[in-house]
Amino acid sequence: MIELTKVSFGYQRGRPLYEGLDLTLSEGSIYGLLGPNGAGKSTLLRLMSGLLYPKAGAIRVGNYVPGDRHPAFLEDTFLVPEEFYMPPVRIRQFVDSNAPFYPRFDRSQMKHYVQEFGLTDDQKLNELSYGQKKKVLIGFGLATNTAVLLMDEPTNGLDIPSKSQFRRLVAGAVDERRIVVISTHQIRDLEALIDPVVILAERSRSRMTVALKASVEEITAKLWFGMVSELDSSRPILYSERAVGGYAIVAENQSGEPSRLDLERLFNTVQAEPQRISQLFSSTSTYAAV
């Protein structure tokens, strides 16, 4: 379990990015971490991995405080960053050098991922494209079998077939002991993969908060996603946009009518109506106005 309790953090004195942020993530799930540009999604992942330290509050990952950098914590946590450096060595040399740091690393699993992504272990990392390098790092992260796997914009640089492979491989690598957190702004790429959904929104004065944390089932029970020919008062509409043939809307689901989650429109709804969304999902998220 990952627990952030009353966490405050900022890069500049007097300008906190987070203040009093609470968030709990449980095992056996693939969380999607969504938020506007500058919301601090990457910052949250770095706080969870111990690369950054909170100014106030507490963070615990299992039995450990990430900032303590305890060896047992480090060998059970892996972060795939958005920006990274890969040494000028062959893929197999990279694996040989880094796999010993992760006790549950599975070499046969890694070999499968390399083949799945159309690579060979004798290719040099510095001769690969950005997308190919990212595939190697994603495959390595999955093969570590760490309890915590954090991914920052993992589909950036991947072509359409590779994104499909990514979704399939990640879905197959999650078990009841593992927490996967994927930060992304490419919502459509991961719509069928992430559940639950965590969405950041501005609370006040550029300070961010968790405006929504809910499962897909909870979201579609409380919100209705669909098309209408005209906007009227028959539904309590939270968000609407023009579309071919009418309006695409997100409304409060007072009648329990089934619908299919649209992550992009959910994201826009949360940004437009964070307080109302928090009220609707009060059992799964908190929103404190300042």
Start-end of H helices in the chain: 41-49, 71-74, 91-98, 107-116, 130-144, 160-172, 216-222, 263-272, 274-280
Mean pLDDT score of the chain, rounded to an integer? 91
pLDDT in tens, 74-100: 999 999 999 899 999 999 999 999 999
pTM score of the predicted model: 0.90
Longest dimension (CA), the chain: 63
Residue 205 has what pLDDT?
Answer: 63
Name the residue ranges covered by the structural domains of the chain.
Answer: 2-194, 214-280
Q: In CATH, what class is 2-194? A: alpha beta
Q: What is the mean pLDDT of residues 2-30?
A: 91
Q: What is the mean pLDDT of residues 272-283?
A: 86
Confidence band of 47 (pLDDT split at 50, 70, 90): very high
Confidence band of 286 (pLDDT split at 50, 70, 90): very low
77 within 8 A of 146, measured Cβ to Cβ: yes
Q: Inform me whether the pLDDT recorded for 289 exceeds 70.
A: no
